[in-house]
Amino acid sequence: MIPYHTIRRYTAGLLALILSLFASQQLGAMAITKITITNPSPININCGSCVTLTVNVSYRYHGWENLPQTGTLEIWENDWSFLDAEESIATASFTVNAGDPQKGTKTISVEVCCKEPNADGSCDFYGNAGTDDEHGRHEIYAKVRGKSTESPIKYAYCINDNKQASRHPDLPSYLNTPGLDAVAFSQGRTTMHVLNIVCTNHTEQPTLLTVGPYLIPADGPHQGYIIPQETEVEVPANSSVTLPLHGYCTDITRPPLPEGDTSDISRWIGLEDALPAPMPDTEPNAIPDAFEPRPAIDTAGWIPTFPGTEQAFPYIVDFNEHPREAAGLIFDTYGRIEAAYDSLYEAGEISTPFAADPGKERSEVIQQSFWIATSRLKGDTIYTQPLFTERMEKQFEDKAGVPVEEAPPEMQETFESGVEDFWSTFTTVGEGAKVLKKTD
Predicted pLDDT at 134: 42
Specify which of 27-41, 108-122, 272-286 reaches the highest per-range mean pLDDT.
Answer: 272-286
Average pLDDT over residues 189-216: 90
What phi, psi does 62 have (nearest 5°)? -100, -20
Q: How far apart are CA 375 and CA 61, in angstroms?
A: 37
For the chain, the average pLDDT equals 82
How confident is the model over 151-179, as pLDDT tens digits?
887 877 776 544 445 656 677 767 777 78
Helix (H, G, I), strand (E, B) or coil at 423: helix
Are β-strands 154-158 and 43-45 bridged in parallel, bridged antiparallel, or unpaired? parallel
The most confident of 16-25, 244-253, 347-356, 412-421, by mean pLDDT: 244-253
Residue 210 pLDDT exceeds 60? yes
Query: Same domain for 398 and 299?
Result: yes
CA atoms within 13 A on the CB side of 119: 1
Share of the chain above pLDDT 70, in %: 82
CATH number of the domain to which 216 belongs: 2.60.40
Higher per-residue confidence, 12 vs 254: 254
Domain end: 127, 161, 195, which one? 161
Find the domain containing 326 and state its range.
274-438
Helix axis angle, 409-432 relative to 385-400, nearest 10°? Answer: 140
Clarify whether residues 45 and 73 are in a common domain.
yes
Residues 31 and 90 placed together within one structural domain of the fold: yes
**Rounded Cα–Cα distance for residues 172 and 150 (Å):** 30
367 CB contacts (<8 Å, ≥6 apart)?
A: 190, 191, 248, 249
The pLDDT tens digits of the residues spanning 81-92 come to 434 456 788 999
**Window from 14-23, 32-41, 274-283 with minimum mean pLDDT:** 14-23
- 263 and 286, same domain (yes or no): no
Do 342 and 237 reside in the same domain of the chain? no
CB atoms within 10 A of CB 13: 11
25 pLDDT more than 70? no
Q: pLDDT category, 337, cuts 50, 70, 90?
A: very high
- Quickly count helices (H) and strands (E) in the chain: 6, 23
Nearest to 161 by CA among 79, 77, 237, 243: 237
Is residue 430 a contact partner of residue 341, using CB atoms and an 8 Å limit?
Answer: no
Task: Assess contact for 112 and 45: CB atoms under 8 A.
Answer: yes
Q: How far is Cα 125 from Cα 301, in angstroms, rounded to an integer?
A: 55
Helix, strand or coil, per DSSP, at residue 138: strand
Same domain, 324 and 396: yes
Calpha distance 332→226 (Å, rounded): 11
Whether the pLDDT of residue 121 is over 80: the answer is no
Of 24 and 254, the one with more pLDDT:
254
Query: Do 254 and 140 have their domain in common?
Result: no
Who contacts 288 (Cβ-Cβ below 8 Å, separation ≥6)? 275, 322, 325
Clarify whether residues 288 and 338 are in a common domain.
yes
Res 169: pLDDT: 62
pLDDT category of residue 120 using cuts at 50, 70 and 90? low
Task: Give 328's pLDDT tier (boundaries 50, 70, 90).
Answer: very high
Element (H, E) at 87: strand 87-96
* Cis amide linkage into residue 68, ω under 30° from 0: yes
pLDDT of residue 65: 60
State the total domains in the chain.
3
pLDDT attached to residue 401: 85
Could you give the 3-state DSSP secondary structure of residue 189?
coil
269, 215 in Cβ contact below 8 A?
Answer: yes
Phi, psi of 319 (to 5 degrees): -75, -10
Q: What is the mean pLDDT of residues 335-350?
A: 92
Q: Please state, in angstroms and rounded to a whole number, the distance separating the CA atoms of residues 80 and 241.
A: 7
pLDDT-derived band at 9, boundaries 50, 70, 90: very low
90 neighbors 110 (Cβ within 8 angstroms): yes
Residues in contact with 344: Cβ distance below 8 Å, sequence separation at least 6, in sequence order = 350, 428, 429, 432
Q: Tell me which of 251, 272, 293 is where a domain ends.
A: 272
Domain check: are 150 and 170 in the same one?
no
Does residue 8 lie within any of the structural domains? Answer: no
Question: Residues 281, 426: one domain?
Answer: yes
Entry pTM: 0.64
Q: Can you give the pLDDT at residue 307?
A: 92
Q: Let me know whether 218 and 288 are in one domain.
A: no
CB 137 within 8 A of CB 162: yes
pLDDT of residue 135: 43
Query: Of 140, 161, 182, which residue sits at a domain end?
Result: 161
- Per-residue confidence band for 212, with pLDDT thresholds at 50, 70 and 90: confident
pLDDT at 436: 94
Residues 31 and 154 in one domain: yes
Taking a C-beta distance cutoff of 8 angstroms, is the pair 191, 156 a contact? no
